[in-house]
Amino acid sequence: MTSSSARKHAGPGPATDLPPVPEPTFAERARTLVYLGRIGSLSTLSRKQPGFPFGSVMPYGLDDHGRPIFLISTMPGEFPPHVSVAGK
């Protein structure tokens, strides 16, 4: 198999005078997903079915450092009752 037949895409191949574009790290990809989204899923262990997750759709925002801040409702039925919500 020649190098031209090993390519997956048509074309002349990468230019030799340009450096290859580096792939983003997994951490950079995760930060990008968190930045672009505003709703995620937060799961705890289910009490009714031990060993299985109990998932809830959770909105979140980001602080000045890009860390997620979860917006958790304390209304009955909105969040699993076995989860204590700290003031953090």
Q: How many CA atoms lie within 13 A of 79 on its CB side?
A: 15
Question: pLDDT: is 46 or 15 the higher one?
Answer: 46
Flag whether 88 is in a domain: no
Position 87 in a domain: no
Residue 45 has pLDDT above 60, yes or no: yes
Work out the average pLDDT over 52-74. 86
The pLDDT score that the predictor gives to residue 78 is: 56
- Could you tell me if residue 45 is inside a domain? yes
Average pLDDT of the residues of the chain? 77
Assess if residue 11 is contained within a domain.
Answer: no
More confident site: 35 or 21 = 35
Percent of the chain past pLDDT 90, that is, above it, reads 25
Contact 78, 84 (CB under 8 A): no
Q: What angle do CA 33, 39, 43 make, to 5 degrees?
A: 100
Q: Domain range spanning residue 72? A: 39-82
Instruction: Judge whether 69 and 88 are in contact, CB under 8 Å.
Output: no
Closest CA to 62 of 28, 83, 39: 39
In a domain, 72, yes or no: yes
- Total domains in the fold of the chain: 1
